[in-house]
Amino acid sequence: MSTPHFDFDSPQRQSTIAILLVILKTLKVLFRQIALPFFVFVVMGKKGSDYGTYFVVFICSISFISMVYSIINHFRSFYYIANNELVVHSGILGKKKLSIPIERIQTINFEENLIHKLFHVKRLKIDTAGSGEKELELAAIDNPKAEALRNILLGNKEHSMVFDTQMPKREEVIFSLDIPDLIKAGLMENHLRSGGLILVFMWWIYANLQEVGINAEDYIEEVEKPAFSINLFLLGIGFFILVSLIISLFRTVFKYYNLHLSRSGNGFKISQGLLNSKTISALDHKIQTVSWSDNLLKKLMGIHDLKLKQASSKTVESKESIIVPGCSYRHIMQICQYVFPSWSPNLFTFSKVDKSYLYRSYYFSIILGLLAIGISYIFKNNTAIYGIVVLVAFLMVMSYLGYKKLAYGYNREWIHLKGGAFGDKHVVSPIFKTQSLKISQNPFQRRKNLVNLTLFNASGSESIPFIPRETALIMSNYVLFKIEIDKRHWM
């Protein structure tokens, strides 16, 4: 693909589509804020209190002002490249100049939503690693211009960013999700989490209704209270499960639609998404950890979620990770071969953590349970006690399974942690990419001479709890030795 020439030395403006995006974003925010009061006042025909009306007027005017501000700002802001720095000017009242040295740019990602797709523009996100204050976003840039800008910004890097820029486009798709896979992955999601989202959403509606001066409880009392029956209870649970299932299915399909993980040069590129499509690139040497996990359902189907975590500033950490749902074990091994060529799953002898780790979880569950039972007893709520007993038993079973699976292994090059409760979790990280380490000890561990060891890398940290102090020191000394003699770039 030949890219047309753009002169980035002179100030450039974003595409005018940016204005449209600003307007749409304002409408979206506005809609979120006033949809509920509007629904209540107009649709339900309830006469709004003065407070409610003022609230709506206030929100509308604030949104309008911020929209006008953003539009003026669009005409006042421009970007250019000078002295090996990407410079962005913006601001109306207070002028702002942000300059990023090109060699400090770590990742450049494109994002497109429906509007972007319609008008052939892209949102450009630029991230520098280390301190989190320097991230930059250009809301809309014409496609060829965006490509050209990325090539220039990445092309200047000496050793790292050859990927996808100077290399001829030779992309090999190594993993993709088709619709049946996607549905399978969606159905196997953690439905408890989706269920939790529903609860949060319901709470949000409730809280918002109160905010505009409507007491939801008045309405609840209007509804005739049905007699509590076991059938109704089961029906409720069934409904809850169904809704959770549908939500997680939709979430998965929207997020991972048309997912393609491809390999080109010395990096990976993943693109995904139905309405908002997103492309993330990761170079091998920037990947800090590879982890994969499943849950009970996924385990039965033999699929895992794979995660490639790369170095980036902390504020955008989760967005910069490559997450591939619905991977088979074979795919994981294949991807690991690219990132960590010398790693293999059978290189390790795994050790377990001390049994008192399990006992501690037991004590916590029991103490928590006893407290809850005590409170229920004071409030004379005997049915709650059964629930608490079941919950404590569940927590203890989970702790037991978690303890059974928790294990750590390491050799001269890698550290490999195993965990999970109902599912399994694996984390693999090269030792030399460790940034710093921490040993900690609480008063209960001191008696048994146990400690926790935490290894920090540029994409997060991994902890090994309750191991003998001597073991932790041997590991720490080796990790430090490895970091200090290894001259490879960790990022």
Partner 1 sequence: MVNNMENQEPIAEEATFHNDQVQSLNLPKMEDVVYEPLQPSHMYVNLIVVGIIFLFVLAGVTVLSFMVEEVKPYFLIALVVVLALFGFLTLAEIKAFKFRGYALRSHDILYRDGWLWKSWMVIPFTRIQHLEINQGPIDRIFDLASLQLFTAGGSSSDIDIDGLTPGQAADIKSFIMSKNAEINEGDVDTTL
Find the distance separating the first CA and the last CA of the chain, reported in whole Å: 29
Binding region for partner 1 (CB under 8 A) out of 232-240, 254-262, 353-361, 451-459: 451-459
Q: How far is the CB of 179 from partner 1 (least distance, A)?
A: 36
Find the DSSP H helices in 169-315.
179-187, 191-211, 216-222, 230-256, 296-301
Q: Evaluate whether 202 touches 305 at the Cβ level (below 8 Å).
A: no
Q: Which residues are bridge partners to 281 per DSSP?
A: 269
Side-chain half-sphere CA neighbours of 434 within 13 A: 27
Is 84 a residue that touches partner 1 (CB under 8 A)? no
Q: Which of 35, 31, 34 has the alpha carbon at shortest distance from 23? A: 31
Is 332 a residue that touches partner 1 (CB under 8 A)? no
DSSP string across 76-103 = H-EEEEETTEEEEEE-SSS-EEEEEEGG
**How many residues form the binding site for partner 1 (CB under 8 A)?**
52
Is 489 a residue that touches partner 1 (CB under 8 A)? yes
Binding region for partner 1 (CB under 8 A) out of 22-30, 218-226, 321-329, 428-436: 428-436
Q: Which is nearer to partner 1, 141 or 431 (CB)?
A: 431
Is 456 a residue that touches partner 1 (CB under 8 A)? yes
Q: Which of residues 184-203 bind partner 1 (CB under 8 A)?
A: none
Is 333 a residue that touches partner 1 (CB under 8 A)? no
Is 133 a residue that touches partner 1 (CB under 8 A)? no
Is 468 a residue that touches partner 1 (CB under 8 A)? no
Choose which of 144, 213, 409, 468 interacts with partner 1 (CB under 8 A): 409
Q: How far is residue 154's CA from residue 137's CA, in Å, rounded to a whole number?
A: 16
Q: Which is nearer to partner 1, 47 or 447 (CB)?
A: 447
Q: How far is residue 461's CA from residue 289's CA, in Å, rounded to a whole number?
A: 10
Q: How far is the CB of 338 from partner 1 (least distance, A)?
A: 11
Q: Is 23 helix (H, G, I), strand (E, B) or coil?
A: helix
Q: Is 2 helix (H, G, I), strand (E, B) or coil?
A: coil
Choose which of 2, 231, 349, 383 interacts with partner 1 (CB under 8 A): 349
Site string for partner 1, 298-317 (x = CB under 8 A): -------------x--x---
Is 435 a residue that touches partner 1 (CB under 8 A)? yes
Binding region for partner 1 (CB under 8 A) out of 58-66, 111-119, 291-299, 431-439: 431-439
Q: How far is residue 397's CA from residue 419's CA, in Å, rounded to a whole number?
A: 15
Is 458 a residue that touches partner 1 (CB under 8 A)? yes
Is 213 a residue that touches partner 1 (CB under 8 A)? no
Q: How far is the CB of 308 from partner 1 (least distance, A)?
A: 14
The three state secondary structure string of 261-280 is EEEECCEEEEEECCCCEEEE
Q: Which residues are bridge partners to 85 per DSSP?
A: 82, 101
The CA-CA-CA angle for residues 40, 44, 45, to 5°, reads: 105
The DSSP output letter for 177 is -
Is 338 a residue that touches partner 1 (CB under 8 A)? no
Is 440 a residue that touches partner 1 (CB under 8 A)? yes
Q: How far is residue 105's CA from residue 97's CA, in Å, rounded to a whole number?
A: 17
Is 363 a residue that touches partner 1 (CB under 8 A)? no
Choose which of 210, 381, 411, 449 interacts with partner 1 (CB under 8 A): 411
User: 17 φ, ψ to 5°?
Assistant: -60, -25
Residues forming the site for partner 1 (CB under 8 A)? 129-131, 159-160, 284-285, 311, 314, 341-342, 344, 347-349, 409-413, 430, 434-443, 456-458, 460-461, 473-478, 480-481, 483-485, 487-491
